[in-house]
Amino acid sequence: MNLKRVVIVSTALVVIAAAIFFTTRESKHDAMVMPHGPKLGSPAINFTLPTLTNGSFTLSNLRGSPTILTFGASWCEPCRREYPLFEAARSRNADLRVVGVLERDSPSLFVRFMKSVGAHWPVGIDDGRGSLAARYGVNVMPDTYFINSQGLVEGHVIGEISSTTLDTNLAAILAPLR
C-alpha cells in the first residue's frame, strides 16, 4: 500500500512540475511572433507600405509632425467609433498627422469603411501576414501609437480610445509645438 501511495504522489509531483515548467518558460517562437513593439520614449519603427490609393507611404517622412499611427480594419467596431475622433482632432490641429495601417482586411472594404466614418488620411496595407503589426506588437484592434515630432513614441493605447484618453495623448505629442 505504501508503494502505491509513493507512486501516486511522485507522479502527481512530476505532472505539477512539468505544468509549472511549460507554463512559465518563455517561448522563443512566441517572442518572435508577439514582440512588445516600441517602448515609450523610443523611436517609432519606420516602415514603407503600399497605400489604398496605389501609392506608398513611409512613416519617417512625417518626422517633424506629431502623428497618430492606428492599426485597424473595417470589421473593427471600436475603430468605427474612434476614427471620427481622430478626424476631428486632425481638423483642430493643423500639424497633426494621422496614419492608418490596414490589418487582416480587404482594401476595398476598408476604402468604403473610411468613407462611411468620414476619415481622410493615408492608409498603408500590411503584407497579409501581419509583419508590421508583429513588429509593433499589435494583437488586437484598434491599436494606436502617438508619435511626437521627433519620431519618438509618447503614447500607446490598446483597444478603443475615449475622447479623454485621446486628449491626454494628443497633449503629450502636441505640447512641444505650442
Per-residue pLDDT 10s for the chain (178 aa) are 577 776 676 666 555 554 454 433 333 322 223 347 899 999 999 999 999 998 999 999 999 999 999 999 999 999 999 999 999 999 999 999 999 999 989 999 999 999 999 999 999 999 888 899 999 999 999 999 999 999 999 999 999 999 999 999 999 999 865 5
Whole-number pLDDT of residue 26 = 33
Pairing of strands 143-147, 153-158: antiparallel
Q: Which of 67, 127, 58, 131 is nearest to 93 (CA)?
A: 67
- Give the residue extent of every domain in the chain: 37-177
Topology (CATH) of 37-177: Glutaredoxin (3.40.30)
Q: Where are the beta strands (DSSP E) in the chain?
A: 48-50, 56-58, 67-72, 97-102, 123-125, 143-147, 153-158
Whole-number pLDDT of residue 13 = 59
Question: Does residue 142 have a cis peptide bond before it, meaning omega lies within 30 degrees of 0?
Answer: yes
CA–CA separation, 39 and 16 (whole Å)? 35
Q: Tell me: the pLDDT tens digits for 72-106?
A: 999 999 999 999 999 999 999 999 999 999 998 99
Strand partners, 18: none
CA–CA separation, 100 and 80 (whole Å)? 13
CA–CA separation, 45 and 156 (whole Å)? 13
Host H or E run for residue 72: strand 67-72
Whole-number pLDDT of residue 37 = 85
Strand partners, 125: 102
Whole-number pLDDT of residue 25 = 35
Whole-number pLDDT of residue 1 = 59
